Amino acid sequence: MTAPAPVVGVVGGGPWGLSLARAARRAKQSEVVLHTRRHADGSLPGIQVVRDFAPLADTPLIILAVPSPAVRSVARELGDHLSGRHMVVHGIRGLSGDDLRTVSQILREETPVRRLGALGGPVQARELHSGRASAMVVGSAFADVTATVVATLEGPWLQVKSTDDLVGLEWASALMGCLSVGLGYAQVRDDVSPGLLAALISGAVDEAVAIARVAGAEASTLYGLGGYGDLLASMALHDRPEVVVGRALARGASLQEAQKEAELRVEALELIPRVARFAQLQGVASGFFGALSDILTGETSPEQALAQLFGVGER
């Protein structure tokens, strides 16, 4: 007798949340409950759309896919319906506040749930939505959380790896999103050769590792699929929102214009200056994040940024 498909709750009806809901439905024909105000009930075949958090009390696994500024308020309201029997994982690339608190820290503060996890890696919303082959990483200190996520999401077109370094995966996801902005920025510059681009990627990842280790991350996580692998995929993902933003900024677009071109929310735009300040306060060298921050704040030109990063352009 076939075991019943697990019940999965997804919070967030944006492109990422909707893609995760569809991936869960596609992988194992799981029963999926989607909390959203964007879609009407019945508009998504096989997915139950709800506007209340109460029905999520019956979903053992909940995936959070909301913008990082909304995490605390959503977690506080959602937490009223949860208990220690639930598992909550998130797929959010942001870090909160100037002290860069992870989403799992906020969930621990605002809900009674302790079996927490995060999603990361190179997979993008459009790939999940279309069922195009890709890979992701789930991180949690609890083996049953990673096992449940793998069982729920993995299928013929999605490979799901796991790690027990939750902090490392959260930092890797956030920092690689930031570095993808820089990658897109460099890709459209005629004065950036493949060799200089390789130097950018290698040096930027080393810098991200040094910053994340201060927060308790393991270096191997950032050098793995959830970190380096995520960034490498960005080289081919020309429609990745962070890459789109970076290219737009290199062409001289304003922040608002770049964000509009990306279509989806880019957490990195608010995060980059905070990472640069955090690194400075921690005494960690952060030339790459500092240069990106200067670009976003308009304190440097593209030529000056390249001179700072690579020693080319204006001096």
Of 164, 190, 211, the position where a domain reaches its end is: 164
Question: Which distant-in-sequence residues (6+ apart) come within 8 Å of 220 by Cβ?
Answer: 165, 168
Q: State the pLDDT at residue 296.
A: 87
Sign of the CA dihedral 177, 182, 183, 188? positive
Residue 248 lies in a domain: yes
248 and 179 in one domain? yes
Q: Strand order of the sheet with strand 7-11?
A: 47-50, 31-35, 7-11, 61-64, 87-90, 115-120, 134-139, 158-163
Q: State the pLDDT at residue 315.
A: 39
Instruction: pLDDT band for 306, please (50, 70, 90 cuts).
Output: low
- Residue 47 pLDDT > 80: yes
Q: State the pLDDT at residue 6.
A: 59
Q: State the pLDDT at residue 45.
A: 83
Domain enclosing residue 306, as ranges? 167-310
- Residue 14 pLDDT > 70: yes
Residue 61 lies in a domain: yes
Residue 47 lies in a domain: yes
The CATH number linked to 242 is 1.10.1040.10
The predicted-structure confidence for 187-238, as pLDDT tens digits, reads as follows: 887 777 888 888 888 999 999 999 999 999 999 999 999 999 999 999 888 8
93 and 32 in one domain? yes
Of 139, 164, 189, the position where a domain reaches its end is: 164
Distance CA 240, CA 180 (A): 8
Mean per-residue pLDDT over the chain, rounded:
90
**Position with higher pLDDT, 303 vs 250:** 250
Instruction: pLDDT band for 3, please (50, 70, 90 cuts).
Output: very low
155 and 100 in one domain? yes
* Number of domains within the chain: 2
133 and 85 in one domain? yes
The predicted-structure confidence for 146-177, as pLDDT tens digits, reads as follows: 999 999 999 889 999 999 999 999 999 999 99
Q: State the pLDDT at residue 178.
A: 95
The CATH number linked to 109 is 3.40.50.720
